[in-house]
A and B are shown apart, each in its own frame.
Chain A
Amino acid sequence: MARLITLFALLIALPAGAQTGGNDGDWLAERPKAGEPKNFDLPEIDTVELDNGLEITFIPFGLAPKATISARIRTGNVNEGENTWLADIAAELMSEGAGERTGEEIAIAAAEMGGDLEVGVDPHVTAFDMAVLSGHAPDAIALMGDVIQRPALPEDDMERVKANFIRNLSVALSQPRGQAASAFLGALYGDHPYGRVFPTEAQLRSYEIDDVRAYYEQNFGAERTHIYIAGRFDRDAAEAAIRESFGDWREGPAPLVAPPDPRMGPEVILVPRASAPQSTIYLGLPVFGPENEDAIPLEVTNALLGGSFSSRITQNIREDKGYTYSPTSQILYNYQDGYWRFRADVTTDVTGAALGEVFKEIERLGAEAPPKDEAERTRNYMAGIFVLKNASPWGLIDQIAFTDFHDLPGDWLEDYVPRVLDVSAEDMRQTAAQRLQLDNMILVVVGDLDAIKPQLESLPRLSGATFDIRDETGAPVENEQDAQ
């Protein structure tokens, strides 16, 4: 018996010895491996269309007893013509009173349902969003029905709302990324609304309530509207509420398609920002929309190059050199159009060095296929992120609305991950070589020009380039010393 006890004690003592841990770290020496991941099954999604052309998509997915409702109308900055931000002003005014309710009553009604009626405008879509406690879904739909179909567009609020936009404009123009985005998109898209990021203050002042009302009348209607409802809700009650609120609405016009004619580089634009401690870099070029067969290969290539924390550019200029905090590259889509864009804010005295590294990484990827393990990690990352993007009520609405907006095939969501996993290391090289040619890129740098111009001039890639110097409104600067 005694021996047995000793043996037991010894057996216990062994792991206990490891338990003391200490400095050897032996218990961590062997790295465990991940297992096989599981699939994520999407919920049953269905869409119905009313006689007037309005579409409704039901997405029963969510943990919490909430209903997330997004009414997306195909009108935005492409519909405002030269009246930049008129679409934004109209959207803002729409919740300042509608049907029988004042703006304050709308806000209170939304809050009593556990929601906030939020409105967002992008170049193509005006979206009204609300997430309410589940049982309130029909009331929320009725409230949105008022705001979308019967806005008062009150003249009394016009001056106040204009003053807000004028103030917001001045703030946006004082931010380095606002300055860079304005110059970059202006160069890329010229006079197309995609290129007119900011109005002038005088333009904003000139808008009158009749301009807003005319814009509303010309652009809002059932044909352009798609309501998405996700979460946990009573589907039949929600459909009945939408039919009742929106069933009699006018059809209105079909969506406007306004294809841009984007410009390629090479082009270098510098925007003076006196004594700036950092330079804000935008570098990019036109590509294509998500319907293009090269879109998914480019998305994967981008993740490896600059679009993830593990990407080459981030590892190089942040994790190796400490030049910057949050470099990133991405593909931004318009309708049947899109652009690839790298962005970083780098310390002023290493602006040239940082940009040189970015050029080098882009060229290197076009010249040599990445190692297989790096390519595989990138594919896995894109697959995993795709699941995370989809696995919530808002995420599913965004993804499904994205496929609807771009007229993507019905199996696009289902096929996305297999298509990502099909992108080989050599595909990535070819995609970079064909689609990300430095000679075609537009470069914008916002910063302290005295300090950065000599750095840029000494980069071989920019030797002989013309530096176009513009202020934050895009106007050419004759004498840069004055601008500083």
Chain B
Amino acid sequence: MTRVSIRFFAAIAAFSLLAACGPDDSGREDAQDPPETAAPADSAESGIRIDVSYQTLDNGLRVVMVPDSTIPTVTVGVYYGIGFRIEPRDRTGFAHLFEHLMFQGSRHAEKGEFDKLINGSGGVNNGSTRFDFTNYFEVVPSSALEPVLWIEADRMAFPDITQEKLANQQGVVANEVKVNVLNQPYGGFPWLDMPQYANENWYNAHNFYGALDDLEAATLEDARDFHDRYYAPNNAVLVIAGDFDPAKATRWVEKYFGPIPQGDAITLPDISEPRQEEEKTAAKTDPLAPRPALAFAYHMPERGTDEYYAMALLDQILIQGEDSRLYQALVKDKGYASGVEGGINLLGNMFNYDGPMLWTAAMIHGEEFTPEEIMTTVDGVVEGLRAEPVTEAELARARTKLLSEFYGVVDSPTRFGLVDLLASFALFDDDPARINRIEGGFDNVTPALMLETAEEYLRPGNRTVLRIEPGAAQDQQ
């Protein structure tokens, strides 16, 4: 048996005697013990209970705190209610470009300081732009929480964006698009392509990564307007999770974020999608692709409805894991492809969006199989779910997979998955404690409800089929 301890810093060696007596040390000795809230093994009811506190500052900033001292790090997430869906019409890709600009320095921390602070204290950070939010997150040793809150507040209030920085990040983002889309076979397939074909409303159907000329056209004035409109505390959620003292953290949050002025209320445009009646098909030529590819997508039931939870279980049965019906039919029986991948919200998960969404499946397949042949097999699987209720055993298996996946999200040293769920539930539902009721939504799902859901949402008329054809021809519809 060995017992080892990893030290963060040399300094700790000199101070360790002192620290061992200090009040902040109490959580350390038993850090390896399982949390008390943890339940006995196995039972699906056991669950994990997450101790969530939630408050709103006077300026409208929503603050979620979840203390847990198992690992001596703390994770901070700042989520703004601005996703690429609602970016300006003549500025595709702007929400994402602006995300980059938020790392370019702020009034009290010049360019480069942000990464120096986070990396230099032993942490990592990043940001991302998604359908309905832009997020910024970092995980650092517990002792670095205060400076992290300070610098997040500084860039929320006073990002320092200049023409030079804008031009620099226009170059970086153009390279990002090239490396992920333009110079890649199957670049953008299907995550960037499918919403553009399947949706009708511009907000859901434009190029979220951005046309290169739109990115180049962005101005400083665009950036200022965008910040003023969307980056106010009343349009944001701050999550702190991990090893910290909630009383101290509350003081710091009030000190650094409290004085930031509230912004104007935001009026969201109409992002709804009409009910799709007829199946749509599209084809795109990919000069870099050596083999054809095929994707198909269905519009999801509205988030939070009974059908939405039923669809999440249908997702497990259709495509998640090698036991899934599509894997068995398309990969094992027919050998069309080495895998079939997809699910709800390819840029996230079933919880972290707030608007129309697609369920998508995709594969790169052998050129000896036609799309028509593959779709006939798909129809066999899908029509099975629309004709006959699933068995209780298959439903139970789907629930087990979901539960296990949820535990996997929570059990991560960065806690980014946990923070993402908390932030999404705060931002979209004003209810981060919903994380403890995740299983509840699935409890009401019966085989009968799944059948009804499949009848309406897995209709051919609710579907878009996208083919990728290898070769150098023009795009065609």
Contacts and interface: CB of A to CB of B under 8 A. Distances in A.
Interface of A: 18-22, 25, 27-29, 31-46, 60-66, 95, 103-104, 107-108, 110-117, 131-136, 159-160, 163-165, 167-168, 170-171, 173-176, 231-234, 273, 276-278, 280, 308-310, 315, 318-326, 345-347, 376-378, 380-381, 383-393, 395, 410-411, 413-414, 416-418, 421-422
A62 B120 contact: no
A34 B73 contact: no
Given A112-B400, A388-B414, A416 B147 contact: no
A114 B120 contact: no
A66 B407 contact: yes
B410 interface: yes
A21 B108 contact: no
A339 to B, nearest CB: 23
Interface string B1-15: 111111111111101
Given A36-B11, A164-B338, A167-B366, A380 B122 contact: yes
B291 A115 contact: no
B182 interface: yes
B169 interface: yes
B39 interface: yes
A12 B291 CA distance: 70
Contact of B71 (A103, A280, A391): A391
9 contacts: A19-B58, A20-B261, A62-B411, A63-B35, A115-B404, A167-B291, A167-B365, A232-B41, A277-B178
Contacts of B397: 108, 111-112
Interface string B163-183: 000011111111110110011
A95 B157 CA distance: 55
A135 B7 contact: no
A19 B183 contact: no
B180 to A, nearest CB: 8
The residue in B178, B259, B323 that gathers the most chain A C-beta atoms within 10 A of its C-beta is B259
A308 B11 CA distance: 23
A110 B290 contact: no
A165 B119 CA distance: 40
Interface string B26-53: 0011011011001111111010100000
B366 A380 contact: no
B140 interface: yes
Given A110-B321, A310-B116, 7 more contacts: A22-B261, A28-B108, A64-B410, A66-B407, A322-B167, A326-B179, A389-B413
- Chain A, interface SS category: mixed
B177 to A, nearest CB: 9
A46 B1 contact: yes
Nearest to A41: B5
A38 B12 contact: yes
Interface string B119-147: 11111110000000000000111111011
Nearest to B364: A171
Nearest to B169: A322
Contact of B5 (A18, A42, A232, A322): A42
B308 to A, nearest CB: 22
B184 interface: yes
B6 A413 contact: yes
B158 interface: yes
Contacts of A114: 400-401, 403-404, 407
B255 interface: yes
Nearest to A45: B2
A31 B150 contact: yes
A171 B109 CA distance: 44
Contacts of A112: 396-397, 400
B175 A278 contact: yes
B143 A36 contact: yes
Given A28-B107, A346-B175, A381 B120 contact: yes
Contact of A387 (B6, B13, B44): B6
A231 B12 CA distance: 28
Interface of B: 1-13, 15-16, 19, 24-25, 28-29, 31-32, 34-35, 38-44, 46, 48, 58-59, 68, 70-73, 107-109, 111-112, 115-116, 119-125, 139-144, 146-147, 150, 153-154, 157-158, 167-176, 178-179, 182-186, 243, 252, 255-256, 258-261, 288-291, 321-323, 327-328, 332, 335, 337-338, 364-366, 396-397, 400-401, 403-404, 407-408, 410-414
Contacts of A324: 172, 175, 179
Contacts of B255: 27
Nearest to B175: A325
Contacts of B32: 41-44, 60-61
B6 A37 contact: no
A353 to B, nearest CB: 12
A417 B6 contact: yes
B176 to A, nearest CB: 4
B438 to A, nearest CB: 13
Given A322-B169, A384-B123, A414-B6, A133 B400 contact: yes
Contacts of B73: 384, 387-388, 391
B42 A135 contact: yes
A34 B261 contact: no
Given A37-B141, A136-B42, A168-B338, A278 B4 contact: no
Contacts of A28: 107-108, 150, 153-154, 157-158, 256
Contacts of B179: 278, 324-326, 345
B127 to A, nearest CB: 12
A254 B371 CA distance: 48
Contacts of A134: 41-42
A384 B150 contact: no
B196 to A, nearest CB: 21
Contacts of B404: 66, 114-115, 131-133
A32 B150 contact: yes
A103 B332 contact: yes
A421 to B, nearest CB: 4
A276 B139 CA distance: 37
Contacts of B48: 63-65
A127 to B, nearest CB: 17
The 7 closest A-B pairs by CB, nearest first: A384-B122, A322-B171, A135-B42, A114-B404, A377-B120, A134-B41, A164-B338
Contacts of B40: 65
Nearest to B35: A63
B321 A345 contact: no
Contact of A65 (B39, B175, B252): B39
Nearest to B394: A108
Contact of A232 (B34, B258, B261, B414): B34
A380 B6 contact: no
Contacts of A27: 255-256, 259
Nearest to B403: A114
Nearest to A58: B1
Contacts of B42: 65, 133-136
Contacts of A131: 404, 408
Contacts of B71: 40, 387, 391
Contacts of A41: 3, 5-6, 28-29, 31-32
Contact of A39 (B5, B107, B175): B5
A321 B170 CA distance: 11
A29 B172 CA distance: 30
A63 B183 CA distance: 41
A437 B184 CA distance: 32
A33 B8 CA distance: 17
Nearest to B165: A319
A321 B168 contact: yes
A308 B121 CA distance: 13
A31 B170 CA distance: 30
